[in-house]
Chains A and B, each alone.
Chain A
Amino acid sequence: DVKVTQSSRYLVKRTGEKVFLECVQDMDHENMFWYRQDPGLGLRLIYFSYDVKMKEKGDIPEGYSVSREKKERFSLILESASTNQTSMYLCASSYSTDTQYFGPGTRLTVL
C-alpha cells in the first residue's frame, strides 16, 4: 500500500511566522503535489515536483515556496504566514501521470 504521511494533522501559527509543512511518501513516486482545500473552492494546486530539486508552480503559488531535496520528501514553506493562508493542506504523490495518493492533510490555522 502507498503511504503518504504529513508532519502534522493540526497546526496553529501566528501571523508573520515561517511555517514548514512536510510530506513523505514511501513508494518511490516521481511526482509530488501540494494542494490547499477551502470550502466551496475545491482542491487548488500550489506547487508540484516531478523530480528531485525540480518544481513547478501550480495555480496559486503566491506566498508559498517548496523544497524537494530527496525523492521521498516534499516540503511546503509559508515564508510569512497570513490569516488568508488558514486552510487544509493536502500532499499527494503519483507515479508518472497516474493516480494521486493523498496524505491525511494538515489543518493550518493562522491567528
Chain B
Amino acid sequence: QKEVEQNSGPLSVPEGAIASLNCTYSDRGSQSFFWYRQYSGKSPELIMFIYSNGDKEDGRFTAQLNKASQYVSLLIRDSQPSDSATYLCAVTSDSNYQLIWGAGTKLIIKP
C-alpha cells in the first residue's frame, strides 16, 4: 500500500516565524511532489510542486525534497495569520495518473 504520511497537527506557530511542514512517502518510484493549501470549507489549491532533489523557492514558500530519505517539506517564512490552513502533501504514483494524498497538517499562525 503506497502511503503519504503527515503529522495531523495542529502545528501552532507565532506570526512572523518560520513554519515547517513535513511529509514522508513510501513509493520510491514517485517523481513529482505537490503541496496544496486548503482553507476550512474550501477546496485544495496548489502552492508548489517540486521534481528534483534540493530546494525550490517561491516567495515566502520553500519546498525541500530528499528522494533518498523519501522526505519532502514545506517551509513558510514570515508566517501570517492568513497562512492558517490545512496543508496537504501529494506525490505521484509510478503506475498511473493518480496522486497519493497525505491526510494534511493543520497549521495555526498565532498573532
A→B interface (CB under 8 Å) = 31, 33, 40-43, 45, 48, 50, 56, 58, 90, 94, 96-105
Contact = CB atoms under 8 A, between A and B. Distances in A.
Given A41-B103, A42-B104, A43-B88, A102 B97 contact: no
Nearest to B93: A97
Contacts, number: 42
Contact of B97 (A94, A101, A104): A94
B46 A99 contact: yes
A99 B49 contact: yes
B101 A43 contact: yes
Interface in B34-91: 34, 42-46, 49, 88, 90
B92 interface: yes
Interface of B: 31-32, 34, 42-46, 49, 88, 90, 92, 96-99, 101-104
Do most interface residues of chain B lie in helix, strand or loop, or is the interface mixed?
Answer: loop
A32 to B, nearest CB: 10
Contacts of A103: 43
B103 A100 contact: no
Contacts of A94: 97
B43 A90 contact: yes
B21 to A, nearest CB: 15
Given A102-B44, A103-B43, 13 more contacts: A42-B101, A42-B102, A48-B97, A50-B97, A56-B96, A90-B44, A97-B31, A97-B92, A97-B97, A99-B34, A99-B46, A102-B43, A105-B43
Contact of A45 (B44, B45, B98, B104): B98
